[in-house]
Structure 1
């Protein structure tokens, strides 16, 4: 009968902080890039320019429906075949960003659509430029609307970052497989890795709640 033994895993815990750091690094970079690109994509989706609308819609439909694992393989192995060699880390980052941007685009588009048309007209009647209207009137309201779904997307990105292990990115899932292969204690290593992801996800959720209470409910934030 299998004897559960976490003691074996203790010898590998010194490598875990580095793996956690790599997980957080690739997740944070993906979040930042997808936030920026997602807003650009949402604006393109709502643009008066038919070509931009079509391009943004096509992007969303393509990259939202390709599994992240397949995207990682396309970027890492596919690009190498056409002479464009990208490191395993950046291959994972690019693939995760391509996927996350598609979801962020739709989240932001929903937020922008929720703003009453009258507010755009009111801003224009006050002589505000398009930038001023977006920055001071539209964006603060969009942030309030999309805050929760964007926070949930952050957690999805964190969890999805584990797929980068398949191309050797040294994050938590990679540590999990390495420990399992060395010790044949797959159950223990998988459970420890799972616990790490749970803790990280809960930390993100806690930060989301705290920031939401401090910023979104602060005086003058409405």
Structure 2
């Protein structure tokens, strides 16, 4: 529908939404989604989408290309400042949440904390982006303080009712485990977190 309408912006956002949704599925290989995310960015032409730029950065980070992800976030930040960017008012929160994720994975505490502070001002505490931000904090601290990071992630998941442990939340909980140093992967809290993640059936990406 998006392609047949001739609306390049709509086609761009539709592809980005697909890429973002599939990133939450553990069966997907993030590297295999890079072409889709890049196509979404390029198809917009002269009306670049902030959302598409942000999704491409998240996809690069998920595929392990952190330097590219950081560069793409900088490009997305520039789009946010451009008055002609069509979705800049709708997706600042999306940008800040992905900044929080990428910088947390990179261990860049200063930029991660700054992004989290900005993002927290844009969402209510019970909204899913706020839950993701809490898990990003655990991701940030997992390499250096694995026990506390795991305990915090377990608490976040336990405090959510089963229907609120959506795919987008679970993928971030899984990233806490991925950020652990090797020996910490065998801690009881790590197994508890795995159980909380795997016990949920696939849910809609939000």
TM-score by length of 2: 0.26
Q: Which has the larger radius of gyration?
A: 1
TM-score (norm 1): 0.24
